[in-house]
Amino acid sequence: MELKPYQQQVINDLDEFLEYLNTFQDSAKAFNQFWEDKVGKYQANLDGSYSGMRPYKNNIPGATHIAIKVPTAGGKTFIACNALHSIFKSFDVTRPKAVVWLVPWSNLLQQTAGHLSNPTHPYREKLNALFGNRVEVFEKEELLQGAGFNPTSTKEQLNIFVFNFSSIRINSTKKDDRKVYEQNGALEQFRGFVDKDSVIDDTDETALINVIRSLNPVVVVDESHNAESVLSVEMLNNLNPSMVLDLTATPKENSNIISFVNAMALKKEHMVKLPVIVYNHHKKEEVITSALHLQRQLELLAIEEEKVTGKYIRPIILFQAQSNIKGKDNTTYIHIKEQLTKLRIPEEQIKIKVSGLDELKGINLMAKDCEVRYIITVNALKEGWDCPNAYILASLADKSSAVDVEQILGRVLRQPHVTKHQSPLLNLSFVLSASSKFQETLDNIVKALQDSGFSKEDYYAEEEPEVELTNNEVLQQELFGTSPVSSGNSEDGKVPVDEINIDEIDFDPNVELDSNQIGSTTDIVKQITQKGESEGKSFEQKAESYTEDNTDYLLREIGKQPKKYRIEDPFVDVVNDLAIPQFYRKVPADELHDTIMFEELKQEEQLLNRNSLLKGFKLASKSTEINFDDTATEVFQVDYNESKHTATKQKVSIRAKAILVDTILAKPKENQIKDITQLIVRKLGDMTPISHEDITKYVTRVFEDLNNDQIRDIINNEFLYISKIKAKVRELESEYAREQFQKLLDTNNILVKPSFKFPNELTQISPSIAIDKSLYEAEASMNGFEQEVIMNIASLENVAFWHRNVEKRGFALNGFESNHYPDFIIFTRNGNLILIETKGDHLDNDESRAKNLLGKKWAEKAGDNFKYFMVFQKKEVPDTYTAQSITEIVRML
């Protein structure tokens, strides 16, 4: 199980923040500078508004406290597993790898502990891969008994302690919860290991809480919006954490968010069933009828889907009962179950899940032999209840009530098998209601979506047309405020408003499921499914084409409306007709058949990316000659000089690493190499597309002849060795990718064709000074050298316009190197498009030469009207220009 692109972006954001933290050695300085570099400096305005990210909130003194905002179904737990690797990679290797994983509810605790403990679950498989199979997961009772938990184990493996919030809070009314604060004979071996300065007043050092405190753990807070009370903050302080990582879809006001995930990214990766199709009926009986027929329709489609893909889905309805109000026994969960069984629905298919009654306990809803198709609840299905098979939320609240879906809508959003299903209806979720307060119901749905990290644009709603009333019925309503009621079997011949009349439910559960019946259903369900297919298709197209400027999204998330700058009017028509060429790869027919699941996604020519050129690259067979001789013999740490406001280097003692050195050297030679390899591989980070296995084999070969002194030197200077190995691997990759690029170019399997279009408007965080002939109303900021070059070029008569091309947001030269974003795009009156990359004289290196080569290849293939020039300040570099000579070259074009 690998990270989705948006999940990888979260890890990239975390890695970037940790670099700031290691540079500044101060949480507030690191956080504030991290965001200033992304979205500009923070500034509070007199009207209460502000620009930039609000400063760091020091919620947990002594600990770095950060948050990640991920919508429901975004894979927070899997992100956290990968985040732990990044966090501990940034720490000193001698620090105990201790994690306190906090969850708000007992059911979520069992689920989390179970998944993290199960060796075949993707979460544990990922942890094992990242931490060399040295992972242990403990619950509270195991820790209190000291089972497999001792001072030695805290140094040799990653230890994850899974607790719910109440286990750590001090609550005198719950005796069991006090055990973590009491003297514990089972943990006597920790006496002397625990730092006495960290012992909580009036507790013994063998108390579990003190053992945990002494480990200075990383704390992961799942659904952290539930842990913001004064009591919860005290709870976190009691753990003495080194870092607190919050995971939530709805961060609180005082959260220090380092990464946001846009909900549209989840849809693009098929993580969620969106949009939500909402349909409002006249009566509860109609809701039940539609829900039952819709479930059958979805199940028929799922059966056909399984025949093709082998993936099993059993669509489930969540029936939401009316909660008891003012002592009145409304439509209760027991009553709904009775009515469903009267329809001859097998009782084993119906389960109740409410506070105090959990018929789902011990049932695996995803199992193929599970019979459950109908779950009755009120609002007990909060976070932590997980069933991707849940497709339909059918509300049976009173007609006079707005449907309250705040707690449970998120439970139907998760996509089964995290893949796009062939039937469009299996990619949607549904809410059916019968409320006269439909607008309030929709408001609640929007709030529920927002609480799950989504938006008001992620649903489609429709209401059943009103039935035309007779003259008598109109008089009854207008004069007496009454509405027609159906006949039933009550004393006065009317059905009470909180009852369900099963005679009005048109459904036969004994009709055998048959593919021939697909599409054969009620008129209302046909209308719902037709609208669903239409809206789903539109939403899919929107998701597939989603490439929102991440800066815009970040600005909106921090409460600032991004400032947009449009293309200047004189250039609009020119730009509309202009598309800048990029490299495309011809995809072999066999690759199309093997890798593309959906026919509509097949393309014979695909935008070239570097990873596609690395197909067939085998690192394990490549040269391991790396020059470590010039590696420094002293370890340095980066600190922040307050007076100079600069990063400075200070020597660090290597004594702290002596324990690790002695431990490794005490082992046989083969195990020494294995341990050193694992240490380095863990810290190399993501080396996509090279597999973990391939990189491990390669590093093993690099280290196969190490002696004791070299092992000691690697441990003391690990980051220097890591940088050398990573540079060597990237060098080997580039060499291979360049060879493949040239081979495909020579055989006409790589071509250029018009691709990139200038967006109509751009967001600029820090606009530059106004310079004549800029394409947009404002261009991005520049350094002094860049400004000098473009001012000289803009003054030329033959230049029509120029544009400052922004890294990762603008036009990219794609090829054998990672995407290259030239600094400027110039368009002349003669129709020539020129790319210019500026370089300081000190940057005459292999990377610059590779970019220049790529640019020249692009210009050669794109045609005579396309040029690429690399410009140094004063240094004369072959095949490039200087700041003085480039102006004359552009003048001649």
What one-character-per-residue DSSP string does 797-858 give?
Answer: TTEEEEEEPPTTTS--B-SSSS-B--SEEEEETTS-EEEEEEE-GGG-SHHHHHHHHHHHHH
Same domain, 440 and 463: yes
Kind of pairing, strands 866-872 and 881-882? parallel
Last residue of a domain, one of 544, 563, 594: 544
In a domain, 596, yes or no: no
Share of the chain above pLDDT 70, in %: 79
Q: What is the pLDDT of residues 512-531, one digit of tens each?
A: 777 777 777 788 888 888 88
Helices vs. strands in the chain: H and E counts, helices first: 28, 29
Q: Does 584 have pLDDT greater than 70?
A: yes
CATH number of the CATH domain containing 214: 3.40.50
Q: How much is the pLDDT for 536? A: 80
Same domain, 95 and 227: yes
Pick left, alpha or beta for residue 685 (phi over 0 → left; psi -120 to 50 → alpha; otherwise beta): left
What is the pTM assigned to this prediction? Answer: 0.67
Q: How much is the pLDDT for 631? A: 44
- Distance between CA atoms of 99 and 81, rounded to whole angstroms? 11
Share of the chain above pLDDT 90, in %: 28
Same domain, 269 and 257: no
Query: Helix (H, G, I), strand (E, B), or coil: what is residue 866?
Result: strand
Q: What is the pLDDT of residues 417-471, one digit of tens each?
A: 888 888 889 998 888 888 777 677 677 777 777 666 676 666 666 666 655 555 5
Tokens standing for 238? Answer: 């009691």
φ, ψ of residue 85 in degrees (nearest 5) = -60, -45
Same domain, 769 and 884: yes
φ, ψ of residue 17 in degrees (nearest 5) = -65, -40
Q: How much is the pLDDT for 795? A: 93
In a domain, 581, yes or no: no
Which is more confident, 50 or 124?
124
DSSP state of 58: -
Helix 122-130 and helix 76-90, axial crossing angle in degrees, nearest 10: 10
In a domain, 315, yes or no: yes
Same domain, 479 and 531: yes
Q: How much is the pLDDT for 295? A: 92
Lowest-pLDDT range, 482-496, 502-516, 755-769, 838-852?
482-496
Is 893 in contact with 828 (CB distance < 8 Å)?
A: yes
DSSP per residue, 758-787? --SEEE-SSB----TTBSBSS-B---HHHH
Q: Does 684 have pLDDT greater than 80?
A: no
In a domain, 744, yes or no: no
Q: How much is the pLDDT for 569? A: 93
CB-based contacts of 242: which residues, under 8 Å, 6+ apart?
63, 64, 91, 95, 216, 217, 218
CATH number of the CATH domain containing 460: 3.40.50.300
Per-residue pLDDT band for 152 (boundaries 50, 70, 90) equals confident
Q: Does 887 have pLDDT greater than 50?
A: yes
Same domain, 206 and 308: no
User: How remote is the C-alpha of 118 from its chain's centroid?
Assistant: 23
Mean pLDDT of 607-636: 73
Mean pLDDT of 857-869: 95
Q: 708: domain range?
A: 619-729
Same domain, 220 and 301: no
Q: What is the pLDDT of residues 336-395, one digit of tens each?
A: 888 888 989 999 999 988 777 888 888 888 888 999 999 988 765 554 466 788 899 888
DSSP per residue, 116-183? HH-TTSHHHHHHHHHTTT-EEEEEHHHHHTTTT--TTHHHHSEEEEEEEHHHHS--TT-GGGGGGGS-
Q: How much is the pLDDT for 225? A: 57
Kind of pairing, strands 316-320 and 374-377? parallel
In a domain, 464, yes or no: yes
Which is more confident, 745 or 485?
745
Same domain, 308 and 238: no
Last residue of a domain, one of 216, 243, 261: 261
Identify which of 98-112, 300-314, 626-640 has the greatest average pLDDT: 300-314
CATH number of the CATH domain containing 805: 3.40.1350.10
Q: Does 566 have pLDDT greater than 70?
A: yes
Same domain, 679 and 787: no
Q: How much is the pLDDT for 589? A: 66
Q: How many CA atoms lie within 13 A of 251 on its CB side?
A: 20
Same domain, 693 and 796: no
Lowest-pLDDT range, 651-655, 747-751, 822-826?
651-655
Tokens standing for 653? Answer: 């003692």
User: How remote is the C-alpha of 236 from its chain's centroid?
Assistant: 25
Last residue of a domain, one of 205, 240, 261: 261
Question: How many independent structural domains does the chain possess?
Answer: 4
Mean pLDDT of 150-179: 74
Same domain, 768 and 680: no
Residue 91, CA distances (Å) to 18, 346, 716 in order? 9, 57, 14
Q: How much is the pLDDT for 597? A: 37
Average pLDDT, the chain: 80
φ, ψ of residue 789 in degrees (nearest 5) = -60, -50
In a domain, 42, yes or no: no
Q: How much is the pLDDT for 270? A: 84
Per-residue pLDDT band for 332 (boundaries 50, 70, 90) equals confident
Beta bridge partners, 375, equal 318, 351
Helix 669-684 and helix 76-90, axial crossing angle in degrees, nearest 10: 110
Same domain, 379 and 321: yes
Q: What is the pLDDT of residues 382-393, one digit of tens each?
A: 544 667 888 998
In a domain, 40, yes or no: no
CB-based contacts of 369: which residues, under 8 Å, 6+ apart?
none
User: How remote is the C-alpha of 450 from its chain's centroid?
Assistant: 16
Per-residue pLDDT band for 797 (boundaries 50, 70, 90) equals very high
In a domain, 811, yes or no: yes
